[in-house]
Amino acid sequence: MARNCFGERELAYLRQVVEGQVAWRWGKSNFVPRFEEAFGRHLGRQYVHAVNSGTSANTAAYASLGLEPGDEVICPGLAPIFVSFPIVAVGCIPVFADVDPRTQTLAPQAIEANLSPRTRAVVVVHLNGQPAQMDEIMAVARRHRLKVVEDCAQAFDATYKGRKVGTIGDIACFSLQQSKHMTSGEGGMVATDDPELYQRAAAFANSGMPWYMYDLPRPKAEPLAGLATRGHFSFGHDFRCSEFHAAVALAQLERIGEFHARRRELVTMVENGLRDLPEVRLAHVYAGTQPNYWQYPVHGPERLGRRGEINYIEVEYQRMQQQRRTSLGVPLPDHVQYVPGLCPQAEASTLGAWSFFVHHSTDDAEMEAAVAAFRDQVLAG
Ligand SMILES: Cc1ncc(COP(=O)(O)O)c(C=O)c1O
């Protein structure tokens, strides 16, 4: 990996940042707002905020929802841990729900099975670039007045019934980490059409300074004891995106068609290379969805062993289970459990699971070798 990721366009934009001598979001800042504007136009969302990682994007998105400590957020039992840790980081409780065994994305019916009076939100992960079943998920969420966060870190430009993922729920998050569809090494984006969620996410990502370079309304701070304040109106972190990152990200967005085309070629190579194996199930594509694979997932025989990211069996969740509170000390209600067997479909779907990294920098020889090695393993019996 990592060859041909960056080129002349990225270098030219980076040179502009160096020559301009301003690398953070300040008065003369150029690339961060330009990238946000371009990303919003590309995605079809009105408000976009650039941050320094996908994990920060998830955290800011959760923080935008106005959750109270101890509120519950339903998330898929199988997903990268960057999805659930930020729920803990905003003082809330991740409740793991089962997944659809065909795509390993959140099963719509599992949302209702995990509701409690404290449930406030659902986070959907379009895992491996496969769109989750959004109509059903949105229907359940609306019925129970839950906010929906779409985690699109692995699914940039995938579509569900003609709509890009990230434009269906209330707020969406993206990652620009090196392995993703486009990258600035590290980085992330939050996107929404709701001005209130945007303002809260942007303020949280900027240490509660809502006015800070983002043209947001600036509340009036009453001087206390005659002393001046700088204007931190709410709690938050510094998740800011630098000009260097935005310069590279803008260049990558401008080249996105080229990257996506190469990804599709690699997917075709995998599918053609495995189609004849009766023991191998290729990725399931629901009607009306157009995945944009980050990794191409397949299922082979059980003897391949287990592969997957079941969050609740990680050491940190086991510690929370034993102590009956989250890492931040929020008590876990009895119905919240982090025990093996919690999400049977998620656990079963890790058996025989395999995936092919279809990053656009992969060359034909590498992909052929990966497919051949997998075929050998399957055919070895
Ligand atoms: C689904 C998902 N969400 C969030 C993240 C976090 O992104 P980052 O690594 O940029 O913090 C990742 C990263 O791999 C991811 O795959």
**Reduced 3-state DSSP string for 71-121:** CEEEEECECCCCCCHHHHHCCCEEEEECECCCCCCECHHHHHHCCCCCEEE
Amino acid identity, position 377: Q
The mean pLDDT of the chain is 95
- Residue 338 is encoded by which pair of tokens? 């982090």
59 C-alpha to ligand 1 centroid (Å): 11
Angle, CA 321 vertex, CA 316 and CA 324 arms, to 5°:
120
Pocket test for ligand 1, best of 52, 73, 82, 294 (most atoms within 8 A of CB): 82
pLDDT tier, 225 (very low <50, low <70, confident <90, very high otherwise):
confident
- Helix-then-strand count for the chain, H and E: 12, 12
For ligand 1, what atom is nearest to the CA of residue 53? 10
Distant-in-sequence, close-in-space partners of 320: CB < 8 Å, separation ≥ 6 = 326, 327, 332, 338
Closest CA to 292 of 161, 180, 155: 155
Decide: 86 in ligand 1 pocket, CB within 6 A: no
Q: Give me the half-sphere count of Cα atoms (radius 13 Å) on the Cβ side of residue 267.
A: 20
Q: What is the pLDDT of residue 28?
A: 61
Whose C-alpha lies nearest to ligand 1, atom 8? 54
Q: Answer whether 153 contacts ligand 1 (Cβ < 6 A).
A: yes
**E strands, 244-368, in order:** 289-290, 295-299, 353-357
pTM listed for this prediction: 0.97
129 C-alpha to ligand 1 centroid (Å) = 12
Asked if residue 177 has its Cβ within 6 Å of ligand 1, the reply is yes
Instruction: Evaluate if residue 212 carries a pLDDT over 80.
Output: no
- Expressed in angstroms and rounded, the spacing between residue 274 Cα and the centre of ligand 1 is 28
Contact 229, 10 (CB under 8 A): no
Per residue in 299-339, pLDDT (tens digit) is 999 999 999 999 999 999 999 999 999 999 999 999 999 99
| Eight-class DSSP state of 219 | P
Average pLDDT of span 26-48: 91
80 Cβ closer than 6 Å to some ligand 1 atom = yes
For ligand 1, whether the C-beta of 105 sits within 6 Å is no
Task: Answer with the residue of higher pLDDT: 25 or 369.
Answer: 369
Instruction: Please tell me if the CB atom of residue 151 comes closer than 6 angstroms to any atom of ligand 1.
Output: yes
Query: Coil, strand or helix: which one is 164?
Result: strand
82: Cβ below 6 Å to ligand 1?
Answer: yes
Q: Percent of the chain having pLDDT more than 70?
A: 97
pLDDT score at 27: 65
CB 191 within 8 A of CB 210: no
**What is the whole-number distance in angstroms between the Cα of residue 279 and the centre of ligand 1?**
31
Q: Is the CB of 64 under 6 A from ligand 1?
A: no
The pLDDT value recorded for residue 228 is 82
225 C-alpha to center of ligand 1: Å? Answer: 44
CB 30 within 8 A of CB 16: yes
Rounded to the nearest whole angstrom, what is the distance from the C-alpha of residue 186 to the centroid of ligand 1? 10
Residues 6+ apart with CB under 8 A from 169: 124, 134, 138, 141, 147, 148, 149, 150
Residue 216: predicted pLDDT: 74
Ligand 1 mutation pick, 53, 174, 177, 293, max ligand atoms within 8 A of CB: 177
> Would you say residue 97 has pLDDT above 70?
yes
Give me the pLDDT at residue 211, please: 66
- Which amino acid appears at position 117 of this protein? P
Q: Kindly report the number of other CB atoms within 10 A of residue 53's CB atom.
A: 19
Closest ligand 1 atom, residue 56 Cα: 11
Q: What digits encode the pLDDT tens for the residues 141-191?
A: 999 999 999 999 999 999 999 999 999 999 999 999 999 999 999 999 999
Answer yes or no: is the C-beta of 175 below 6 A from any ligand 1 atom. yes
Q: Positive or negative, the Cα torsion across 71, 77, 78, 81?
A: positive
